[in-house]
Amino acid sequence: MANAADALTIIPTGGPLGAEVRGVDFTQPVGGQTTAALNAAWAEHLVLLFRDQDISDAQHIAASALFGPPAVGASRAYFEKQGRAPGDGVAAHPEIAVISNLGPDGVPVMENEGLGSGEDVWHSDNSYIETPPAGSFLRALEVPPDGGATSFTNQYMAYETLPDEVKTRIAGLRTKQDSTRNSAGVLRPGVTAPQTLADVPGPDHPLVRLHPVTGRKALYLGRRRIFPSQYVTGWDRAESEELLDFLWDHATQAKFEWGHHDWRPGDMLLWDNRCVMHHRDAHAGAHRRIMHRTQLGREKPIAA
Ligand code: OGA
Ligand code: MN
């Protein structure tokens, strides 16, 4: 039987997070026992890699639903507000976000209105809305021959390895989650760049987040773009910048990181935005890189 629970193989990366799952074919139904085993593997390893999944968008959405209700990506609203419709920068399925490096004439470029071909800085998806998705599930359709690796850092470890005095200092703090720019630094459609910290739009989320499934505490930094951007709610500018500089350096250390460097079409990566940050390396921009991403299980971050 396809997708039998006892045929699943979970192969940890050996790094601080991540595992490859074998024995799953998302063109076939996935039963309750297998779904439970996949969710357990996700809670344990934080990032799951599935390979050789030659599937449609509808099957991608169905696979996402095994881990939480699929949701519309937060950036879509900015495009829709500009009158953009499917075929004009937004996907036909609202639950699919297209991560592409194509320019307006369909040719690969370094910079476009999305994530382009350049670096995509460390972040947690959609942290700029009140109820960010627990998970993101990214599927490769077309990938360049080199570059464009996607890397992840374990934010449980980032929290646990903070000096005790820092843990005490950050307990109960919240930070503003800047909604103005995407992870390539591009201003979203229709948005004016903030001039002061007081102008920065977005929700405040807890800096230390309780994971509802594992009960563990994770550092939840979310996103920080060029100044003025993220700040600690209620703190003055200098104090906030100093703490955030320290926390971002700490949270993105190589010892917490594992990366997927050999993307192939049909690869899918599922990550947990509640306890992981991710980053994409730049690539040369000479080849097409087309990924489809779903978001699933929107929830309000719980302060730890
Ligand atoms: C994303 C993202 C990573 C990539 O899909 O959320 O940040 O590898 N992209 O393109
Ligand atoms: Mn992202």
Rounded CA gap, 230 and 70, in Å? 27
Domains: count for the chain:
1
Question: pLDDT value at position 87?
Answer: 84
Q: Which atom of ligand 1 is nearest to the CA of 263?
A: 8
Pocket flag, ligand 1, residue 279 (CB < 6 Å): no
| Residue 304, in any domain of the structure | no
Q: Which residues contact 90 (CB under 8 A, 6 or more apart)?
A: 76, 79, 80, 84, 98
Question: pLDDT value at position 120?
Answer: 97
Q: Which atom of ligand 1 is nearest to the CA of 278?
A: 7
Q: In 111-171, where does DSSP find H-type helix?
A: 155-160, 164-170
Residue 160 sits in a domain whose CATH number is 3.60.130.10
| Residue 90, in any domain of the structure | yes
Q: What are the average pLDDT values for consecutive 10-residue runs of the chain, which has 304 residues?
A: 94 98 98 98 98 98 98 96 91 96 96 96 98 98 97 99 98 98 97 96 98 98 98 98 98 98 98 98 97 98 98
CA angle, 148 then 151 then 153, to 5°? 165
Query: Which residue, by CA, sits nearest to atom 6 of ligand 1?
Result: 125
* Buried/exposed 223-252: b ≥16 CB within 10 Å, e otherwise: bbbeebbbbbeeeeeeebbebbeebbebbb
Q: Which atom of ligand 1 is nearest to the CA of 148?
A: 8
Full residue range of the structural domain in which residue 96 is found:
5-298
Pocket flag, ligand 1, residue 120 (CB < 6 Å): yes
| Residue 184, in any domain of the structure | yes
| Residue 115, in any domain of the structure | yes
| Residue 303, in any domain of the structure | no
| Helix, strand, coil content of the chain in percent (nearest 5) | 20, 25, 50
| Residue 82, in any domain of the structure | yes
Question: pLDDT value at position 89?
Answer: 82
Ligand 1 center–CA 99 separation, angstroms: 7
Ligand 1 center–CA 110 separation, angstroms: 15
| Residue 81, in any domain of the structure | yes
Q: What is the pTM of this model?
A: 0.98
Pocket flag, ligand 1, residue 117 (CB < 6 Å): no
Quickly count: other Cβ atoms within 10 Å of residue 106's Cβ.
Answer: 9
Pocket flag, ligand 1, residue 99 (CB < 6 Å): yes
Rounded CA gap, 176 and 190, in Å? 20
Pocket flag, ligand 1, residue 278 (CB < 6 Å): yes
What amino acid occupies position 233?
A: T
Q: Are strands 19-22 and 47-50 parallel, antiparallel or unpaired?
A: parallel
| Residue 190, in any domain of the structure | yes
Query: Which residue, by CA, sits nearest to atom 3 of ligand 1?
Result: 280
Ligand 1 center–CA 162 separation, angstroms: 27
